[in-house]
Structure 1
């Protein structure tokens, strides 16, 4: 009799849990604030098969916010955007865009990303080009060097590296995004867990859990008490310079990797919305970091495009260039202006690529 009561209690608890989960799923979907689908990172099986960083052959309508709906497609090689051949067709100049979520095109459709705009504009000028979107959200230069290594099999003729203004502070992350994605692949590949993950990954509840976990990680980070002396200004300045040294080292590594194969590198300085209109920076380090990054690239002899003048010359407000007030990423207009500003440097690099037989572009 007691065993029967325990069994009924377990059944009732399970039913109650299922009903609660179902109701929560419906409520989250109805809210419009949680995606029921998202772009998935690549698995271990595909990681050794294709060069991209995303699960191949995805087509997703992401709805992270009622005002931020966008369509994202991942091709069969694991890159965002349309299909292209692994081997570059003859006489086609191949351009690879590297960067974080800004390069990936967070919150804009496939045909509105930087790479899509560049390809369209260059083809309209009569250039035979392919522009590959190698952007991966959450990455900085340490990760982008690794992504470049994986993408070298595509034999790009030109690489555009976009500097985002969080790239320096993101170097503090432990582990790096590339290492975190490797751990993610390992966990998802465990026997049994893979099946469970595939069943729940496109539910609102699971995506809500990921959002809550990210928020928790942010706010549960150790905070320094007001009674405990924080690091001295000298220590803080030293650490800041160490991060810049790390960035410079990896930029030099990327440049040498490309130069050794006669591949041209263009440095693209992308401004935060805080630079449009009134100055809202609270410290000088942040205020000068964009110009410092651009100066660093120029000192290395890298053709450098500063987007800030182009953004300001439009006379548009930050709300007209970015997804404000909902998000700080560029909107459709921001990507058009960015692509237009890059055209002169790209035209020159394309001409150089045509005038020189690049070992990287040979089959």
Structure 2
């Protein structure tokens, strides 16, 4: 072998070693784990594959101490949080609210009777709250879940609770086949569901994409990518109304509004402040886009930020868990605000 060719071959062989040295074994180990971890892994202890929605609660599931000693998670035969079964027809003399949302509605991190739907029911005898929340769901999945299963229940109010992340979860990945969820698209102004049946990430074998994710997570890849692209000025901030999720979310709310009118039920959207929003005392996504859009659509909006903002910093910390979800106190406050606002909007709510 010629000396020049030999040196070139040795240099190529040393590239992986140099990459490992540049990255550090520890950081690459974390990236490798992340590249091989299904997106829905956090929910796998109480969920199973659902071809329409991606994942769903297992029925009649018991998970004792799942969030800590004495903090259990249970589901009923209807795949809803808690052990009680809900009749499809509304019980006589009962005001019924269906709480639709993500992990904040499900009560991630707290016991069955400490979620805000449970606290809402406890604070108001004569009110029944159906807890229809599931971790990791975006507004799109919650909407599809309600269309499939939630419409079976006769209710007085459909309460759709959202956080800012629920809208970003609506944005499709570059490759739909690598997404463990259905995707909503607008075709000539009409909502269309794609990527169904959803790829089953609960049994999905590891593929080469894991290695590619590892490579793309590395500093060396980012350095090479940066060197190969011309420098450019920072991109201007994109207004929320111009985000990819905005037209999809608007169409979802229009559908829920029209469906609620047909069914003779009230529709209320609730914006739940996450910790950083409570700290700064404002909700940019809601203030700048969601609230004006819902006013235009004639949909009631309840914002919890004034009540969370009123807490002192020390008290505010007690209302959130370390992972950012509401603590028992946070859920209790959310329920109190919701009950107050529901009574303001509807004289039929028990007092």
Q: Same fold (TM over 0.5)?
A: yes
Q: Contact between 1:267 and 1:302, CA under 8 Å: does it hold in 2?
A: yes
The residue aligned with 1:38 is 45
Are 2:104 and 1:89 equivalent residues in the alignment?
no
Rounded to whole Å, the distance in 2 between the matches of 1:238 and 1:289 is 7
Rounded to whole Å, the distance in 2 between the matches of 1:37 and 1:143 is 17
Alignment of 1:241-256 (within 5 A): 241-256=243-258
| The 10-residue stretch of structure 1 (80-89 or 257-266) with the greater mean CA deviation from structure 2 | 80-89
Offset at 1:322? 0.7
Offset at 1:352? 4.6
Q: Contact between 1:37 and 1:60, CA under 8 Å: does it hold in 2?
A: no
| Partner of residue 146 from structure 2, selected from 142, 145, 148 | 148
The residue aligned with 1:337 is 333
Q: Contact between 2:50 and 2:198, CA under 8 Å: does it hold in 1?
A: no
Alignment of 1:4-153 (within 5 A): 38-41=45-48, 53-61=56-64, 63=66, 70-81=71-82, 82-123=84-125, 128-149=126-147, 150-153=149-152
Number of equivalent positions: 278
Rounded to whole Å, the distance in 1 between the matches of 2:305 and 2:159 is 17
Change in CA separation of 1:173 and 1:219 when aligned onto 2, cut-off 3 Å: farther
Alignment of 1:258-337 (within 5 A): 258-277=260-279, 288-292=284-288, 293-317=290-314, 318-323=316-321, 326-337=322-333
Change in CA separation of 1:239 and 1:264 when aligned onto 2, cut-off 3 Å: closer
Q: Contact between 1:99 and 1:139, CA under 8 Å: does it hold in 2?
A: yes
Q: Contact between 2:103 and 2:133, CA under 8 Å: does it hold in 1?
A: yes
Rounded to whole Å, the distance in 1 between the matches of 2:73 and 2:267 is 27
The residue aligned with 2:159 is 160
Superposed CA offset, 1:46-70 (max 9, x none): x9xxxx9422111113546xx6973
Offset at 1:113? 0.3
Offset at 1:262? 1.4
Offset at 1:144? 1.5
Offset at 1:309? 0.6
Rounded to whole Å, the distance in 2 between the matches of 1:139 and 1:177 is 11
Q: Contact between 1:163 and 1:268, CA under 8 Å: does it hold in 2?
A: yes
| The 10-residue stretch of structure 1 (146-155 or 287-296) with the greater mean CA deviation from structure 2 | 287-296
Length-normalised TM-score, structure 1: 0.65
Rounded to whole Å, the distance in 2 between the matches of 1:267 and 1:316 is 27
Higher helix share: 1
| Equivalent position SS for 2:96 | strand
Tell me, which stretches of 5 or more residues in structure 2 are unaligned?
1-40, 183-194
Q: Contact between 1:37 and 1:61, CA under 8 Å: does it hold in 2?
A: no
Q: Contact between 1:264 and 1:349, CA under 8 Å: does it hold in 2?
A: no
CA RMSD of aligned residues (A): 3.8
| Equivalent position SS for 2:273 | coil
Q: Contact between 2:180 and 2:200, CA under 8 Å: does it hold in 1?
A: no
Superposed CA offset, 1:79-115 (max 9, x none): 1123222333223222111111111111011010011
Change in CA separation of 1:315 and 1:277 when aligned onto 2, cut-off 3 Å: same
Change in CA separation of 1:309 and 1:353 when aligned onto 2, cut-off 3 Å: closer
